[in-house]
Amino acid sequence: MRRLRALLLVVFSILVVGGGLYLLREHYQAQNQPAPKMGGRPGAPGFNAGPTPVVAAPASLGSLDVVMNGLGTATPLRTVTVRTRVDGELVSVKFAEGQLVKPGQLLAEIDPRPFQVALDQAQGQLARDEALLENARLDLARYEGLFKQDSIAKQQVDTQVSLVRQYEGAVRVDRSQVDNARLQLGYTKIAAPVGGRVGLRLVDQGNIVRSGDASGIVVITQLAPIAVVFTVPQDSVPVVLKRMQTERIPVAAWDREGRTKIADGVLASADNQVDPATGTVKLKAQFANDDGALFPNQFVNVRMKLDTVRDAIVVPTAAVQRGAQGLFVYVVRDDRTVTPRPVKLGAAEGQRIVVADGLHEGELVVVDGMDRLRPGATVEVSSARPEIKPPPEGKTRGKGGRRKGPDK
């Protein structure tokens, strides 16, 4: 019996000591457990309802260009396929592929010998008929003298007059044949009709070329000046046409990514009809292109400046949001809370847009982080807001340090 009691006492002691050690271990782990992370989704464990970090920018007073954008294609003012006007052997090629040529510059030459022979024949025929004409005129003068002396009949004189006229007609025909032969001989030298850049050679020296060949010898493309054809919405055409009547509209050509300006030009003309498939109208701008920056059939982005809005409230385009009530921006108030403000927008250019109504100069608008905002939310502004210089000594600055605008 004593042994049983001693055994129970030992078991009880072990349980008490084990329980105490377990409670001590749990207390130690609770003391060294890291604190839960703050933030996260509202309503989640450990959510911190502190200020929301945002990026804000002040509404500024400035000027903004009204620019119309479009996609255009560089088009040469002239593209000429050089063809031969006479048939013959191509004996020489005077140009290099890709060469810049001037108007009238010799490009190729056809064998001139057959045409020189034809010219000599025409000149010989002309000389023969001129000699016959001269002899007929001398006979006519003698006949007229004899007729006055009543030595010959009037019919003989009339016959000689007709013969003189016949020879005069023959001489005219011969002269025209000489001119035609000389013209054909001149066509053996093929010159550039316009200035520009020649393309790849379409026929080699030694080939027989004919005036009926469709491919020609080479293609010349005029590069300076050059045109860019682009399209604008049909609703914008009246404004463009009205401006064209009073002034020259500047047009700039940019690369395909819209990052680098290629050339500056002016609007030259507009098409006379609307494309029913796209609802757009084609416009043509002309560029000097002295440096050859624009190339035929090159795709470019076109920016056409129509007007300049001055003394307007300008904000970054990213600040404008669209909601159920229309367009609005988040305005940061002096107490670092935000309120949505409905706005009316004007012209836009790149990353800036004009606010026609709803904002005042100097008010801060949120440009990034507005997806986490609610009306009245507290924010922490981390923007490159212009630094406000401290007032001179002896003067104080109004509360807030910036001009206030009425909240709506």
Is the pLDDT at 9 greater than 60, yes or no?
yes
- Which fold would CATH assign to domain 86-111+188-221? OB fold (Dihydrolipoamide Acetyltransferase, E2P) (2.40.50)
- Domains of the chain, by residue range, sit at 53-62+310-381, 71-77+223-309, 86-111+188-221, 113-187
Q: Report the pLDDT value the prediction gives residue 34, as an integer from 0 to 100.
A: 47
Token pair belonging to 339: 């309120």
Q: What's the pLDDT tens digit per position in 333-381?
A: 988 899 899 999 888 877 888 898 888 888 999 998 888 888 888 888 8
Q: Report the pLDDT value the prediction gives residue 401, as an integer from 0 to 100.
A: 41
Token pair belonging to 346: 């004007």
For the segment 151-167, the average pLDDT, to the nearest whole number, is 93
- For residues 396 and 109, the model is more confident at 109
- Give the CATH number of domain 71-77+223-309: 2.40.30.170
Q: Report the pLDDT value the prediction gives residue 31, as an integer from 0 to 100.
A: 55
Burial class from Cβ neighbours inside 10 Å (0-12, 13-18, 19+) for residue 267 reads: buried
Is the pLDDT at 405 greater than 70, yes or no?
no
Crossing angle of helices 113-148 and 154-186, rounded to 10°: 160
Calpha distance 191→189 (Å, rounded): 6
Q: What's the pLDDT tens digit per position in 184-243?
A: 999 999 999 999 999 999 999 999 999 989 899 999 999 989 999 999 888 888 888 888
Mean pLDDT computed over every residue of the chain: 84
- Which fold would CATH assign to domain 53-62+310-381? 2.40.420
Share of the chain above pLDDT 70, in %: 83
Calpha distance 312→63 (Å, rounded): 6
pLDDT classification of 51: cutoffs 50, 70, 90:
confident
Is the pLDDT at 262 greater than 70, yes or no?
yes
CB 271 within 8 A of CB 282: yes
Structural domain 113-187, CATH architecture = Orthogonal Bundle (1.10)
